[in-house]
Amino acid sequence: MVSPPARYLVFFQYFGTKYSGVMETSNDQSIVGVQNYLEKAAQNLKPVVPIKFHISSRTDSGVHALSNSAHLDIQRAPGKPAFNEKELVYSLNYHLKPEPIRILNAHRVTSSFHARFSALSRTYVYRLLIGCAHYSEIPVFERDLCWAPVGGCLNVPAMQDAAQFLLGTHDFSTFRSLNSETPFQSPVRTILQVDIRPSSGFLSHHYEHRGLEFWELKFRSRSFLYRQVRRMVGALVAVGQGKLTPHHIKELLERKDSRAFPPNAMAPPSGLFLKSVEYNEADLDTTIAPGE
């Protein structure tokens, strides 16, 4: 008798610079997605049917994740018990070497659980570096992990004022890039949190004399539009540079037109991190009955 598949939710992180994004691509491309490597590693678990990762949150090429998530179903050969969570984490990480991708933890969930649709919210952080007059001044350990806008100085209080216009429920058409899904997606989103706070760099206490400042912009919503976070960050940086006023953010929202977004203002992918995907704890603390 073949036992039913066991469903798991896994949380994983990755350094996104070398990948085409998190989603899978055809394996004949020179650069593929994080999902390609996850599923290749999972095949070493010797499942009865190939394992598919259902990713909760898409990230683009160059974007990193402190914690993304996915669900997967594993059907083992007759007589083989379901993996426990620790076994699954260890086995996947063993087969992911030497990729900069790590499984953080796993939860057994019910067969009705969905990594994308069961998520309550997603939180992104964007790292800014202030004080670099030129790209060459970025510390070598921070390359591809932050954005140092040209000019080196930003009016952070003005950015914090502007960010308040993004809070709440709005039509974010101006703040999305167009893609194949645009005609089928509502542009209305609810931003639950926007914070701009000082942060720290990697070993930055060793070069305090350089006067560099790290800042984090944090955004939380149930879901985001394509490149919405990078466009919001880019607009806020334009405010910090004096190219826009805080009130311009409100005007951009009211335009409801992606073509109204200032040209070349979108933030690069390198400073963007998916920080976390939030779920109802009750969904992750479930005793699975046989057959579920």
Q: Is-contact 37 83, C-beta < 8 A?
A: no
CA quadruple 45, 51, 55, 61: dihedral sign: positive
Q: What is the chain's alpha carbon radius of gyration, rounded to the nearest angstrom?
A: 21
Q: How far apart are CA 254 and CA 13, in angstroms?
A: 36
124 is in an annotated binding site: yes
60 carries an active-site annotation? yes
Counts of helices then strands in the chain (DSSP H, E): 6, 9
Main-chain phi, psi angles of 251, to 5 degrees: -65, -40
Q: Which of 60, 73, 161, 171 is catalytic?
A: 60
Q: Is-contact 128 138, C-beta < 8 A?
A: no
User: How many residues would you count in the chain?
Assistant: 292
Each residue of 109-122: b (16+ CB within 10 Å) or e?
beeebebeebbeeb
For the annotated binding site, the residues are 124
Q: Which residues are catalytic?
A: 60
For the annotated binding site for substrate, the residues are 124
